[in-house]
């Protein structure tokens, strides 16, 4: 129904060195009359080391998109590939961070961070050292032997993030990782995530429903609209890094946020 968004979105990225490539992806839940189109004609590319934010209202299918990329859900039509090979199931070169920290209460902080290494039977000694370095990177040194229930929400989510980095994945998929945190913790986590990303240079696909968070973190923002979930707009964020929180008060930042809002509410109303 809306020709203006269907193609254009795919144009943004490079053609070579793409890490994530999604082409005319759609996903339908159910069959027949009761079927729901969750994703419709999604196309985009993500280059190596890029930080992409996908922003959209709840129910726009952004979490579904992430599940497809993580190999947890097969798409109905279209193609999705990582590093040139089509996604056919979960892969070892991906790290996923979920909305809740999803820690195992019977494992210590170190044990939780080591989970991917245990599952993938990586060298215990090397991984342990790597885990300790990562725990230090997020400022949790001294908490290695603690259990999740002894940590605050922000600390738990930091454990969740470094767990996703332990097996050195090429791609980090993050599904509203800070959605459950209070506003102040969330801002400091954003600063921290930027720092981690600048240090480790992973390709990140970051899903959020916060426009400010998306603009602050991303090299490129993809805006999704709901029912069916499709790409409304996609643009590069040209702000110098490292970005301080102050950047949110600048005119340029405001303009980007405005652009996201415009794509979320075409026509200036709530529903399109």
Q: Which residues of the shown chain bind other proteins in the complex (CB under 8 A)?
A: 67, 70-72, 89-92, 94, 96, 98-100, 102, 104-106, 115-116, 118-120, 147, 149, 167
Nearer to other proteins, 152 or 250 (CB): 152
Shortest Cβ 142–other proteins spacing (Å): 19
In the chain, count of helices (H) and strands (E)? Answer: 9, 10
Nearer to other proteins, 143 or 216 (CB): 143
Shortest Cβ 246–other proteins spacing (Å): 35
Contact between 261 and 55 (Cβ < 8 Å) = no
Shortest Cβ 256–other proteins spacing (Å): 31
Nearer to other proteins, 98 or 235 (CB): 98
DSSP code string of 26-55: EEEESSGGG-EEEEEEEEEEEETT-EEEEE
d(CA 140, CA 108): 12
Contact between 189 and 181 (Cβ < 8 Å) = yes
Contact between 97 and 160 (Cβ < 8 Å) = yes
Nearer to other proteins, 29 or 235 (CB): 29
Nearer to other proteins, 37 or 102 (CB): 102
Shortest Cβ 116–other proteins spacing (Å): 5
Nearer to other proteins, 64 or 194 (CB): 64
Shortest Cβ 107–other proteins spacing (Å): 8
d(CA 185, CA 154): 6
Nearer to other proteins, 163 or 230 (CB): 163
Shortest Cβ 46–other proteins spacing (Å): 18
Contact between 110 and 132 (Cβ < 8 Å) = yes
d(CA 171, CA 168): 9
Mark residue 173 as left, alpha or beta (left: phi above 0; alpha: psi -120 to 50; beta: remaining): beta
d(CA 9, CA 155): 36
CA neighbor of 98 nearest in space, from 173, 39, 166 = 173
Q: Packing angle between helix 153-165 and helix 183-200, nearest 10 degrees?
A: 20
Nearer to other proteins, 5 or 114 (CB): 114
Shortest Cβ 204–other proteins spacing (Å): 15
Give the tokens for residue 48. Answer: 């190596």
d(CA 122, CA 221): 35
Shortest Cβ 8–other proteins spacing (Å): 31
């Amino acid at each position: 129904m809306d020709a203006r968004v269907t193609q254009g979105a795919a144009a943004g990225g490079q053609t070579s060195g793409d890490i994530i490539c999604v082409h005319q992806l759609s996903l339908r839940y159910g069959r027949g009359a009761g079927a729901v189109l969750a994703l419709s004609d999604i196309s985009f590319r993500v280059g190596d080391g890029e930080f992409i934010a996908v922003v959209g209202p709840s129910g726009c299918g952004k979490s579904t998109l992430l599940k497809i990329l993580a190999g947890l859900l097969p798409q109905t039509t279209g193609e999705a590939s990582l590093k040139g090979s089509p996604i056919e199931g979960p892969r070892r070169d991906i790290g996923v961070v979920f909305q809740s920290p999803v820690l195992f209460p019977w494992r210590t902080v170190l044990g939780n961070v080591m989970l991917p290494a245990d599952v993938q039977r990586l060298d215990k000694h090397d991984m342990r050292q790597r885990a300790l370095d990562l725990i230090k990177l997020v400022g949790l040194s001294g908490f290695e032997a603690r259990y999740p229930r002894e940590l605050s929400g922000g600390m738990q989510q930091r454990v969740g993030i470094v767990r996703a980095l332990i097996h050195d994945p090429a791609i980090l998929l993050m599904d509203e990782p800070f959605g459950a945190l209070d506003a102040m913790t969330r801002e400091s986590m954003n600063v921290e995530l930027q720092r981690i990303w600048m240090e480790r240079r992973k390709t990140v696909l970051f899903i959020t429903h916060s426009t400010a968070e998306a603009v602050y973190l991303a090299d490129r923002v993809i805006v999704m609209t709901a029912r069916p979930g499709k790409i409304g707009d996609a643009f590069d964020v040209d702000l110098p890094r490292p970005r301080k929180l102050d950047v949110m008060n600048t005119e340029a930042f405001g303009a980007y946020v405005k652009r996201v809002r415009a794509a979320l509410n075409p026509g200036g109303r709530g529903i399109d």
